[in-house]
Chains A and B, each alone.
Chain A
């Protein structure tokens, strides 16, 4: 899987800025350079880790300021490697519009690596997660404790030799997330995990001075189901239903992202009709997701009407999805190479009906909220996130765009035919709650534009690739000839066999860049799947955002971040 330094690297790859800059600065400490499927990946020695990250961030030709993801990988029993583990960093440059992957081997005996928390704010939780799940120690990390698993969990569950079926009995909650100075008169309150204003099971503990938040700490992991370990024991198809359960408010989009990542790995595209339908359903899902975000956010502020109004549109979209694939919430509609089935005959009529309902409820919500005095007082200039901080935390999607960074994957790295549709990307100026609200509202209108265009020029043809290595043969064939029967059998019990290699596939999901880092060893289960969850980086900043603010502001802010526990904890 890792290319050795003796493998020939084409000059055009070496010429790419990150490769050139690191090679010049680090020389022998660059161990490998790879660009499988166009993903530039540079492996450096552990002792050059922080220096390499800094160079990638600060060098003017690199400018990788957006922190995307950091994860561990366990290569136990994979030959050809000296070190058991690898730590993988993904960064993005908004100015040059490039992704980069930086990797470093970490040995089994004494697995340690320097922390990147001094370089990127967002690295904090990612390193805690790598410690929790792999047992890799990040030297210098300010708070290296478990994040997703329980305090008294024993072992590191993502390690390959940790048995999947092992059980723990975990009873005692962690009471104190914050240190409380002795004799303090401040009040320590838990907000969550089961709290109406926490839209999902996550917890914040706040130390209050009256209504002001003196200190805050977050605890997550209540919905951690270790999707990534499940993925290591499932075929590429079998993972599709699991993806539905990431951001379950817009589940189709997760499957869309997963299918694209695997299609990138396979180099097998979906046919045009499938891509167009994917766009339509993704955009409708984006609308659904934004409706949840906006309407539940204002419920917390005491404005209940927009919720009842807007959810009618979700019902219309649910009905559409139901007609397409038989499910409302967890659709499992994508397949690698296309879709599970074609849409029903009245698809266009149903879409237009859904759009009409969306338009109607949007107008009503807009009328109720956007110039509402109370709403403005609660939202304007509250929860300001600066552009620089947003990038360092790794914010993406509407939250990042609210802070003035015009990064939308549909525009900057179009997929599924987005380049053929006319639409605009709203960008804020202040980075407060109000900007994030406006961005989401406008995005819904732009999504409607996209859906209408896609419907107008929806191509005919198949909805799944005809590549037999990936797509099931038609049932009529399966029952009447041996070749199709064998094909069906092999695809079901073995599934797709991608080539060995790794890719990072990314789409603009409702919350922003949803990434899938997939490592394949050529066999039927992926060796590693790392979900890059957009709201993870966003929520990580939350405790810092509310320090010094009022409790009421904390409530206003959290709703607008759209943290979905399924995506956050996986």
Chain B
């Protein structure tokens, strides 16, 4: 393990680590533009200049591999002068766009100027080179004047999506970034181009002019779009989500997020949401409490003549509470509507997305919710043997082949987040909170347990699914024994193989991977499929 000294601090690093990587890992800030933790090194911006003892010329930190005994100063006069000068060069032709540029607040130029610049400008506005502005590339807007030619977008297209959409055109002062014939970006990862661009040259069309980022509060969470479970930031202001951004997790999604995942922020909020309980024939104004009263009464009557279908959209906490309810009542239990367990590891592209469009199929498997079989449950319904059918999500109500079976169940209860015509097939509708409105955990395709955190309040009377199940258990005289997601996780970790000893603190912000070969029998085989 080579040891180096950076700014007077002795640091041991794995072989092959660059000065920039070592410095950033240890809280020593160095300026950079073209370097990116998940893209190949380019070394074109020259802003990360550092002084290395015994080397007469300054080096770039991003491409200088640490050797044993290396002594580095990032803050010497020479280094600071070079850093300032490099920044000044980049800014020579930069337009005075801050008031109309979305990047303000997360702009490398603004941030680095305050740390490494602070010089007086020498270039007259009229002398600056003018380039193309407001080029519509579909999901992305290009402003070529703001580009600092770091080539991150080129490298992203080359290495991550393999689509090679961007290239430098023209020469010298007039170099610009461009797509062939200004063709729009058509792959599912365009949002990442706005993320990698350190300035306002590439910006999200969807987010354009929507919100100044310094008003946003960021919450750590996990995207529910598929079983990959990319880590995200939910950015909101005053309880309204404005966008989703990727949160770096080297084991799951690196720095990337797919566009369909990003768009999921639109379903959070109040529009189209189910915000109150409904009971068929009861008119307006049913409270959740009254609805749960009714559900409990029906379940008590039905006993084992009931069936429970969990939803892989639910958190592990939701699932545990639901399973506890099913076992307390003695009804049938499963979750595999649409057979998500067969798709949980199946990729649909070579970057991030998976075929299973649920975030927690693996959690369902781990908690043993694959029990009696969906087919068996539907058959029981058709045979008139199911008096109460409890659905943790509306998936089954959307399956045309199941309509007849559902119609035969005497009392259908469904938990749902959004309004929809299919809810009319239920006798009782309970409003559920969305992933961005609850604390909890999802287990992704790799059996990585990851935390979601409530970023915004749920609308109206909507509750976490576990709270709806717990309320029902309470009314059946068999309380769950937990009043928060955190407590429920403690319960489930005690009884679920491989989850023992875990708690929210241990899971942390990057999640905790469980052994892939874990679990027993059929479940483990399915997990490995």
Say whether A483 contacts B214, CB under 8 Å. Answer: no
CA distance A494 to B212 in the complex (A): 12
CA distance A489 to B100 in the complex (A): 12
Known: A489-B110, A490-B114. A482 touches B96 (CB 8 A): yes
Known: A489-B110, A493-B105, A493-B214. A482 touches B118 (CB 8 A): no
Q: In the complex, what's the smallest C-beta–C-beta distance from B220 to chain A, in angstroms?
A: 14
B118 cross-chain contacts in A, Cβ below 8 A: 468-469, 487
CA distance A481 to B104 in the complex (A): 16
B123 cross-chain contacts in A, Cβ below 8 A: 481
CA distance A487 to B110 in the complex (A): 7
B121 contacts A by Cβ under 8 Å? yes
B111 cross-chain contacts in A, Cβ below 8 A: 490
Contact of B114 among A481, A485, A487 (CB under 8 A): A487
Q: In the complex, what's the smallest C-beta–C-beta distance from B113 to chain A, in angstroms?
A: 5
Known: A486-B98, A486-B113, A490-B113. A480 touches B104 (CB 8 A): no
Say whether A490 contacts B117, CB under 8 Å. Answer: no
Say whether B114 contacts A482, CB under 8 Å. Answer: no
B71 contacts A by Cβ under 8 Å? no
B212 cross-chain contacts in A, Cβ below 8 A: 493
Q: Mask for B90-121, Cβ within 8 A of A = 1, else 0? A: 01001110110000110101110110011111
Contact of B119 among A479, A483, A485 (CB under 8 A): A483
B125 contacts A by Cβ under 8 Å? yes
* CB neighbors of B among A466-502 (8 A): 468-469, 477, 479-487, 489-490, 493-494
* CB neighbors of B among A5-26 (8 A): none
Say whether A486 contacts B109, CB under 8 Å. Answer: yes
Say whether B120 contacts A482, CB under 8 Å. Answer: no
A493 cross-chain contacts in B, Cβ below 8 A: 104-105, 212, 214
Say whether A483 contacts B117, CB under 8 Å. Answer: yes
Say whether A486 contacts B110, CB under 8 Å. Answer: yes
* CB neighbors of A among B118-170 (8 A): 118-121, 123-125
Q: In the complex, what's the smallest C-beta–C-beta distance from A164 to chain B, in angstroms?
A: 12
A494 cross-chain contacts in B, Cβ below 8 A: 214
Say whether A489 contacts B104, CB under 8 Å. Answer: yes
Say whether B94 contacts A482, CB under 8 Å. Answer: yes
The number of residues on chain B lying at the interface, defined by a beta carbon within 8 Å of a beta carbon of chain A, is 24
Q: In the complex, what's the smallest C-beta–C-beta distance from A469 to chain B, in angstroms?
A: 7
Nearest to B109 among chain A residues (CB) is A486
B214 cross-chain contacts in A, Cβ below 8 A: 493-494
Central interface residue in B95, B109, B114, by most chain A CB within 10 Å? B114
Nearest to A478 among chain B residues (CB) is B96
Say whether A480 contacts B110, CB under 8 Å. Answer: no
* CB neighbors of B among A296-350 (8 A): none
* CB neighbors of B among A95-151 (8 A): none
Say whether A490 contacts B110, CB under 8 Å. Answer: yes
CA distance A570 to B489 in the complex (A): 43
Q: In the complex, what's the smallest C-beta–C-beta distance from A337 to chain B, in angstroms?
A: 14
Say whether A481 contacts B121, CB under 8 Å. Answer: yes
* CB neighbors of A among B435-464 (8 A): none
Nearest to A467 among chain B residues (CB) is B118
CA distance A469 to B113 in the complex (A): 10
B114 cross-chain contacts in A, Cβ below 8 A: 468-469, 486-487, 490
Say whether A483 contacts B95, CB under 8 Å. Answer: no
CA distance A469 to B214 in the complex (A): 18
Main secondary structure of the interface of B (DSSP, over half): loop
Q: In the complex, what's the smallest C-beta–C-beta distance from A108 to chain B, in angstroms?
A: 15
CA distance A131 to B125 in the complex (A): 58
CA distance A486 to B199 in the complex (A): 12
B110 cross-chain contacts in A, Cβ below 8 A: 486, 489-490
A477 cross-chain contacts in B, Cβ below 8 A: 121
Q: Mask for B24-55, Cβ within 8 A of A = 1, else 0? A: 00000000000000000000000000000000
Q: In the complex, what's the smallest C-beta–C-beta distance from B111 to chain A, in angstroms?
A: 8
Say whether A485 contacts B105, CB under 8 Å. Answer: no
Q: In the complex, what's the smallest C-beta–C-beta distance from B217 to chain A, in angstroms?
A: 12
Nearest to A477 among chain B residues (CB) is B121
Known: A468-B118, A469-B118, A494-B214. A481 touches B105 (CB 8 A): no
Nearest to A493 among chain B residues (CB) is B214
CA distance A487 to B105 in the complex (A): 12
CA distance A481 to B88 in the complex (A): 12
Nearest to B113 among chain A residues (CB) is A486
B104 cross-chain contacts in A, Cβ below 8 A: 489, 493
Say whether A483 contacts B91, CB under 8 Å. Answer: yes
Q: In the complex, what's the smallest C-beta–C-beta distance from A386 to chain B, in angstroms?
A: 53
Nearest to B123 among chain A residues (CB) is A481
Say whether B98 contacts A481, CB under 8 Å. Answer: no
CA distance A389 to B355 in the complex (A): 78
Nearest to A481 among chain B residues (CB) is B121
A490 cross-chain contacts in B, Cβ below 8 A: 110-111, 113-114
B121 cross-chain contacts in A, Cβ below 8 A: 477, 481-484
Q: In the complex, what's the smallest C-beta–C-beta distance from B91 to chain A, in angstroms?
A: 6
CA distance A484 to B94 in the complex (A): 12
Known: A468-B118, A489-B104, A493-B105. A483 touches B113 (CB 8 A): yes
Q: In the complex, what's the smallest C-beta–C-beta distance from B92 to chain A, in angstroms?
A: 9
* CB neighbors of A among B194-219 (8 A): 212, 214
CA distance A481 to B98 in the complex (A): 11
Nearest to B94 among chain A residues (CB) is A482
CA distance A468 to B111 in the complex (A): 13
A484 cross-chain contacts in B, Cβ below 8 A: 121
Say whether B98 contacts A489, CB under 8 Å. Answer: yes
Central interface residue in A486, A487, A489, by most chain B CB within 10 Å? A486
Nearest to A473 among chain B residues (CB) is B120
B124 cross-chain contacts in A, Cβ below 8 A: 480
Contact of B113 among A479, A480, A487 (CB under 8 A): A487
Q: In the complex, what's the smallest C-beta–C-beta distance from A514 to chain B, in angstroms?
A: 31
Say whether B125 contacts A480, CB under 8 Å. Answer: yes
CA distance A400 to B118 in the complex (A): 47
Nearest to B88 among chain A residues (CB) is A483
CA distance A393 to B50 in the complex (A): 57
Nearest to B214 among chain A residues (CB) is A493
CA distance A481 to B109 in the complex (A): 13
Q: In the complex, what's the smallest C-beta–C-beta distance from B8 to chain A, in angstroms?
A: 14
Known: A489-B110, A490-B113, A493-B212. A483 touches B105 (CB 8 A): no
Say whether B119 contacts A482, CB under 8 Å. Answer: no
CA distance A483 to B91 in the complex (A): 8
B113 cross-chain contacts in A, Cβ below 8 A: 483, 486-487, 490
Say whether B119 contacts A481, CB under 8 Å. Answer: no
Nearest to B212 among chain A residues (CB) is A493
CA distance A482 to B120 in the complex (A): 10
Say whether A485 contacts B91, CB under 8 Å. Answer: no
Q: In the complex, what's the smallest C-beta–C-beta distance from A83 to chain B, in angstroms?
A: 19
Q: In the complex, what's the smallest C-beta–C-beta distance from A161 to chain B, in angstroms?
A: 14
Nearest to B93 among chain A residues (CB) is A482
CA distance A234 to B19 in the complex (A): 36
Known: A489-B104, A493-B212, A493-B214. A483 touches B120 (CB 8 A): yes
Nearest to B101 among chain A residues (CB) is A489
Q: In the complex, what's the smallest C-beta–C-beta distance from A167 to chain B, in angstroms?
A: 15
Q: In the complex, what's the smallest C-beta–C-beta distance from B201 to chain A, in angstroms?
A: 14
Say whether A482 contacts B105, CB under 8 Å. Answer: no
Q: Mask for A442-465, Cβ within 8 A of B = 1, else 0? A: 000000000000000000000000
Q: In the complex, what's the smallest C-beta–C-beta distance from A232 to chain B, in angstroms?
A: 15
Can you list 8 A-B contacts (CB < 8 A)?
A480-B96, A481-B123, A482-B91, A483-B91, A483-B117, A486-B107, A486-B114, A487-B118
With A480-B125, A486-B113 already in contact, 15 other A-B pairs whose C-beta atoms are closer than 8 Å: A469-B114, A477-B121, A481-B121, A482-B95, A482-B98, A483-B91, A485-B98, A486-B98, A487-B113, A487-B114, A490-B110, A490-B111, A490-B114, A493-B212, A494-B214
Q: Which residues of B contact A (CB under 8 A)?
A: 91, 94-96, 98-99, 104-105, 107, 109-111, 113-114, 117-121, 123-125, 212, 214
Q: Which residues of A contact B (CB under 8 A)?
A: 468-469, 477, 479-487, 489-490, 493-494
6 cross-chain pairs, A with B, having the tightest CB-CB distances, nearest first:
A481-B121, A483-B121, A493-B214, A486-B110, A468-B118, A482-B94
